[in-house]
Structure 1
């Protein structure tokens, strides 16, 4: 089905975007509130991209 191919790519992109936002929200809830959220989240995301 060549007509369904762009829809599959869009759904895959939306799925990865949703997982990325879920990862950021999970970092926000795991990290303590007194820490700076932006610095801790960027550090964890960089470590996460290193493991990939």
Structure 2
């Protein structure tokens, strides 16, 4: 029935929207630790020292 197609598109849109939100929340609250940023900042500033 073609009259029900907008409801199907709305259900798909809400489903994928909720999946996207859940994926982003799971990545935001993931428990892994990043390496310490102080060492990476030191090496970055060391390599960026310009000799004018």
**TM-score, normalised by the number of residues in structure 1:** 0.56
Larger radius of gyration: 2
Q: Give structure 1 regions of 4+ aligned residues with deviation exceeding 4 angstroms.
A: 31-34
Unaligned runs of 5+ in 2: 35-52
Q: Kindly indicate whether structure 1 or structure 2 has the higher relative contact order, using CA contacts under 8 Å at least 6 residues apart.
A: 1
What is the alpha-carbon root mean square deviation over aligned residues? 1.9
Unaligned runs of 5+ in 1: 35-52
Q: How many residues align?
A: 34
What TM-score, normalized by structure 2, do the two folds share?
Answer: 0.56
